[in-house]
Structure formats: C-alpha cells, structure tokens
C-alpha cells in the first residue's frame, strides 16, 4: 500500500503513524504548499497532488467524491483512490 510505503504502519518503527501522516497532509493544506513526498500517499502524480492541495486551499473541504473528481488530474481516478484522498483532506 502506498500509504505504508511512505508513512509506514503503526507496527513499523521509525515511520510516521497514520494520524501523523494525516496531520502532515493537513499542515501542507494549511500552508497551501504541496510536498512531493506525499504523492505516494495520495497515490497520484505531482501535478494532481498540487491540484488537490490548491483546490483544497482555495475552496475549502471537498463535499463529495464527485467534487473531488472535478480536480484536474483526478477525472478518471477510481473511486477507491478518491475515497483515500478524501479521507486525508
């Protein structure tokens, strides 16, 4: 799983826990700056990751997966990927 590859699991010493990774993503959004390290967690490319952060920073929380799907680079993303991104943002 991409999340565990970057953040590790709660069982993995030296890696961030899921709550810590969620906090990292939330800090990134609050700053309005994209961190390429998070792309594997989102399971998207850098351009789509930047678009997600920009959209979230400019317009606030995503109200639905359909709204998230309108973000450039995510129009063809599978529902499971959108759900994962939505859970972090």
pLDDT at 61: 83
Is 0.85 surpassed by the pTM of this model? Answer: no
Q: Which of 8-17, 30-39, 51-60, 71-80 has the lowest mean pLDDT?
A: 8-17
| Cβ-based neighbours of 46, under 8 Å, separated by 6 or more | 34, 36, 39
Instruction: Report d(CA 11, CA 33) in Å as an integer.
Output: 29
Where do the domains of the chain lie?
2-88
Would the pLDDT of 46 be above 80? Answer: yes
If one compares 1 and 87, the residue with the highest pLDDT of the two is 87
Q: Which of 31-35, 36-40, 78-82 has the lowest mean pLDDT?
A: 36-40
pLDDT at 16: 63
């Amino acid at each position: 799983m991409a999340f565990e590859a970057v953040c590790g699991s709660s069982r993995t010493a030296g890696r961030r826990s899921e709550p810590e990774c969620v906090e990292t993503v939330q800090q990134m959004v609050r700053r309005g700056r994209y961190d390429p390290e998070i792309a594997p967690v989102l399971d998207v490319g850098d351009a789509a990751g930047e678009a997600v952060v920009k959209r979230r920073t400019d317009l606030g929380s995503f109200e639905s997966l359909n709204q998230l799907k309108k973000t450039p680079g995510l129009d063809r993303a599978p529902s499971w990927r959108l759900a994962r991104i939505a859970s972090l943002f």
